[in-house]
Amino acid sequence: MDFDIATYNAQKYPWYSPHFVIRAMSLLTKLYGANVEDKREFQLAREMFDSAAALLGVYELHNDNKYFLQPNLQSASPDVVAAKNTEMVDAPVVLEETNLELVRMNEYAGTDDVVEFLKRTKLSSKKSYDNKTLILCVISKKIQINIQKIADSLREINPKPKSTIYILGILQGDKDRWTIFSPYPDLVPPVIYSLAETIKKYQLPGSVTMHRGSVKKITYEKMDKQLTTTVYEVFNIDEYQVQKYKIVRGTR
């Protein structure tokens, strides 16, 4: 089913802050270990985590970017939907939604050229995204990044429509130091940030529900649930289907 942001029901499922998703992923990893990194059943969890990490980086690029996110369970695409509430002058609060399409460039990518990889994946002729879609390319292999070269190559290709592209990666030698930049349509220089430190500044409720209304101030309805009981909900995982991957702790 094609995605239509005009008919997307933002009230149907809970929305989660990036820090909530990152904590949920930490819990999931404790339960299932390295299986979370490569098993098909955890793909959406990986996409949600990468989206959360990216949204924290986007916040560091501009502190007006304070988004919630949720998995898209209403259509085949996009992978994740992000949303932020914006207060307007003499008008009701507006919910701005952004579609996130993710692709991970790992050791199996077959190339070290980021633009070539994007041409084979999210920028292939078989794909078609609108300008409300954010393409997130997560780099999880050791390669040299030439930011200006990537930007120049993308301008040469001139993808239509002009979906915003972000490149996200972890700095070598430090699992909590991330970097993000946008090479297209405009070159936005990279920022280096710590998930742990950015979370401290990213003051949003862990989980909320959205309601229609005409209010001029942002208000949130908190979810009355604990993280330990919602981790499968967060990532839309069938707990029964992943039991075979669960780590059995030894007893003394």
At position 33, the amino acid (one-letter code) is: G
Sort 250 into a burial class: Cβ within 10 Å, 0-12 / 13-18 / 19+.
exposed
Give the CA dihedral 32, 33, 37, 39, nearest 10 degrees.
-40
Q: Is residue 1 part of a domain?
A: no
Whole-number Å distance between alpha carbons of 183 and 150 = 7
Q: Is residue 41 part of a domain?
A: yes
Whole-number Å distance between alpha carbons of 211 and 196 = 30
Most confident of 39-48, 194-203, 220-229: 39-48
The vertex-165 CA angle with 161 and 168, nearest 5°, equals 165
Omega cis (within 30) before 159 = no
Give the chain's domain count: 1
Q: What are 145-201's pLDDT values in tens digits?
A: 999 999 999 999 988 767 899 999 998 767 789 999 999 999 999 999 999 999 999
Pairing of strands 91-105, 133-139: parallel
Q: Is residue 3 part of a domain?
A: no
Residue 223 has pLDDT above 60, yes or no: no
> What tokens appear for 150 in the block?
């990537």
Residues in contact with 62: Cβ distance below 8 Å, sequence separation at least 6, in sequence order: none
User: In terms of Cα–Cα distance, which of 185, 242, 244 is closest to 45?
Assistant: 242
Q: Is residue 95 part of a domain?
A: yes
Q: Is residue 56 part of a domain?
A: yes
Q: Is residue 142 part of a domain?
A: yes
Q: What is the mean pLDDT of residues 244-252?
A: 74
Residue 184: the pLDDT is 94
- The helices-and-strands tally (H runs, E runs) of the chain is 7, 10
Q: Is residue 2 part of a domain?
A: no
- Helix, strand or coil for residue 55? helix
DSSP assignment, residue 41? G
Residue 251 has pLDDT above 80, yes or no: no
Nearest-10 crossing angle of helices 18-32, 43-61? 150
Residue found under tokens 């307007």: 88
Q: Is residue 8 part of a domain?
A: no
pTM reported for the whole predicted model: 0.89
Residue 228 has pLDDT above 50, yes or no: no
Instruction: Report which of residues 186 and 5 the model is more confident about.
Output: 186
Residue-wise burial string across 51-89, b where 16 or more C-beta atoms lie within 10 A, e elsewhere:
bbbbbbbbbbbeeebbbbbbbbebeeebbbbbbbbeeee
33: left (phi over 0), alpha (psi -120 to 50) or beta: left
Whole-number Å distance between alpha carbons of 164 and 155 = 12
Residue found under tokens 């932020």: 84
Residue 2: the pLDDT is 42
Instruction: Report which of residues 184 and 84 the model is more confident about.
Output: 184
Residue 217 has pLDDT above 80, yes or no: no
Domain boundaries, position 163 = 15-245
